[in-house]
């Protein structure tokens, strides 16, 4: 038989458990700082280990990417990985900024900066912070190579005025 005293203890324990769960949620939200509901659900599913990239959206994105339709590719990559928790997808997003911003005479600094943000996300998500993408259509296969190329594009020095720069090739 449950006494009034044991019932009060059970209510206190349940209240403590709910308070701890709510406090954990607040701490997680503060540390993860998700910007959208998709990021919240993706982060939670990633924490549990059930996060998956939308395969159809990823295939669409890669098709756009290979046709040099980079804004369309980024939209499809965003659909494939709305929570920004897949390193490979973030690598392709960064690469699309590189390819769209690359120019024979000058590079688009704004696109290159967005690419640096995306490649930084990819590096943070990758196991051991090392990401290699085995895609024969790419000129750069590692996130480190891509980041170095993007950073080189936003720095300005005397080599920017080299007229032979027009003969360089896009990676």
Q: 55-167 has which fold? A: 1.25.40
Question: For the chain, what are the domain ranges?
Answer: 4-48, 55-167
As a whole number, the mean pLDDT across the chain is 87
Q: What is the pTM of this model?
A: 0.75
Look at residue 136 in the predicted model and tell me its pLDDT.
95
User: Contact 101/112 with Cβ under 8 angstroms?
Assistant: yes
Look at residue 93 in the predicted model and tell me its pLDDT.
98
Q: Is the pLDDT of residue 158 over 90?
A: no
pLDDT band at 47 (very low <50, low <70, confident <90, very high): low
Q: What are phi and psi of 146, to 5 degrees?
A: -65, -45
3-class secondary structure for the chain? Answer: CCCHHHHHHHHHHHHHHHHHHHHHHHHHHHHHCCCCHHHHHHHHHHHHCCCCCCHHHHHHHHHHHHCCCHHHHHHHHHHHCCCCCCHHHHHHHHHHHHHHHCCCCCCCHHHHHHHHHHHHHHHHHCHHHCCECCCCCCCCCEHHHHHHHHHHHHCCCHHHHCHHHHHCCCC
Compute the average pLDDT of residues 78-82.
94
Cβ contacts of 40 within 8 Å, gap of 6 or more: 29, 34, 83
Compute the average pLDDT of residues 12-41.
74
List Cα–Cα distances, 32 to 29, 75, 97, 118, in angstroms. 5, 23, 25, 16
pLDDT band at 22 (very low <50, low <70, confident <90, very high): confident
Q: Is the pLDDT of residue 149 over 90?
A: yes
143 versus 31: the higher-pLDDT residue is 143
Q: Give 55-71 pLDDT, tens digit per residue.
A: 999 999 999 999 999 99
């Amino acid at each position: 038989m449950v006494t009034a005293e044991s019932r009060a203890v059970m209510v206190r324990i349940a209240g403590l458990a709910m308070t701890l769960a709510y406090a954990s949620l607040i701490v997680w939200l503060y540390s993860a700082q998700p910007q959208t509901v998709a990021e919240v659900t993706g982060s939670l599913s990633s924490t549990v280990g059930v996060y998956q990239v939308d395969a159809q959206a990823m295939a669409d994105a890669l098709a756009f990417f290979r046709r040099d339709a980079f804004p369309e590719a980024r939209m499809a990559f965003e659909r494939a990985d709305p929570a920004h928790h897949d390193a490979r997808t973030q690598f392709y997003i960064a690469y699309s900024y590189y390819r769209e911003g690359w120019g024979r005479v000058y590079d688009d600094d704004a696109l290159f900066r967005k690419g640096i943000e995306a490649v930084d996300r990819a590096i943070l998500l990758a196991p051991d912070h090392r990401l290699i993408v085995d895609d024969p259509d790419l000129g750069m296969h590692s996130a480190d190579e891509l980041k170095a190329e993007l950073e080189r594009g936003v720095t300005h020095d005397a080599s920017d005025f080299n007229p032979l720069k027009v003969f360089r090739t896009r990676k």
